[in-house]
Amino acid sequence: MVATTTLEKIELEFLLRGSSKVLENRLFTASGLSEWFADDVKINDNTYTFYWEGSEQSAHLISSKPGKYIRFQWIDEENTCTDCYFEMSIETNQMTKEITLKIIDFSEEDEMEESILVWEHAVADLKRTLGS
């Protein structure tokens, strides 16, 4: 029997400068994701394979709405959380035109701090590619 681990939901928000169209390209294309999220990204149908320093991990594209959000679920034999996913969404304040990148992810409680640091580092790389 496989032991199930309870995963905690992580919700992060990052204020970004720049064009929402440029940000959309960074979130919704393999070349854009490889500029900040992974070293390389390959897409085959709805399966995205992310490569980092000699390792790789694949995720199914669960749903997306261009310009709004993209949601994935990791493909992992040990992943027993069928309701878990990671999502990146773009929100633009219509009055101020400020752009917010929202991240939703799931992590084991004892790995939450590390998961948050990984996202913060990735978004720092994203900000550099956006020039913000």
Question: Helix (H, G, I), strand (E, B), or coil: what is residue 1?
Answer: coil
Average pLDDT estimate for 84-113: 91
| Nearest partner of 23 among 15, 14, 32, 31, judged by Cα | 32
Q: Average pLDDT in the 94-104 region?
A: 90
Q: Is residue 28 part of a domain?
A: yes
Looking at residue 1, its pLDDT comes to: 42
pTM: 0.86
Residue 69 falls inside a structural domain:
yes
Cβ atoms of residues 22 and 90 within 8 Å: no
Q: Is residue 97 part of a domain?
A: yes
Residue 60 within any structural domain of the chain: yes
Q: What is the pLDDT of residues 28-78, one digit of tens each?
A: 999 999 999 999 999 999 999 999 998 999 999 999 998 899 999 988 766
CATH number of the domain enclosing 16: 3.30.530.20
Q: What is the mean pLDDT of residues 71-98?
A: 84
- Structural domains of the chain, count: 1
Residue 66 lies in a domain: yes
